[in-house]
């Protein structure tokens, strides 16, 4: 389900479970919408939603976000969404600038896909009366 992305990240903001689940959910919503118009495309599984009982966030989980944005752009339209970053274990975690880039990319792609879905031309009647 699509949730309005947070595109005003700033230094000092904390990345929490709701943020993770929102980004993951938005990427899944974009994929579902895109599959209505485009052929199936590669998409990395991001697992189930996190809760506060989960230990934390791992580099490979954030890298899935990055990869899925690339997969969607390759399949739908080559949107200008900025430079992909790769994260590694025991290295600095994702920063506010990269979170803004990811969430803004989701917003851009989703709005474009939705406008294409709503802009499809449809006939106001059924050809041949529906009988074959």
Mean pLDDT by 10 residues, the chain (132 residues): 93 93 96 94 92 86 94 91 90 92 95 89 71 58
Q: What span, in angstroms and rounded, lies between the C-alpha atoms of 68 and 123?
A: 34
Give residue 100's pLDDT.
95
Please state the pTM of the whole predicted model. Answer: 0.87
70, containing H or E segment: helix 59-75
Give residue 124's pLDDT.
76
Give residue 121's pLDDT.
75
Give residue 1's pLDDT.
86
CA-nearest of 30, 45, 121 to 76 is 30
| Close Cβ partners of 122 (under 8 Å, ≥ 6 residues apart) | none
Phi and psi of 104, rounded to 5°? -70, -35
Give residue 132's pLDDT.
54
Q: Where are the domains of the chain?
A: 17-116
């Amino acid at each position: 389900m699509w949730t309005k992305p947070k595109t005003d990240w700033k230094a000092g903001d904390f990345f929490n479970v709701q943020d993770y689940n929102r980004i993951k959910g938005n990427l899944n919503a974009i994929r579902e919408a895109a599959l209505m118009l485009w052929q199936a495309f590669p998409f990395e599984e991001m697992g189930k939603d996190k809760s506060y009982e989960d230990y934390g966030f791992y580099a490979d989980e954030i890298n899935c976000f990055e990869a899925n944005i690339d997969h969607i752009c390759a399949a739908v339209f080559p949107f200008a969404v900025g430079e992909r970053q790769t994260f590694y274990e025991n290295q600095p975690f994702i920063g506010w600038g990269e979170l803004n880039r990811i969430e803004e990319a989701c917003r851009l792609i989703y709005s474009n896909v939705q406008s294409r879905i709503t802009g499809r031309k449809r006939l106001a009647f059924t050809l041949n009366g529906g009988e074959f």
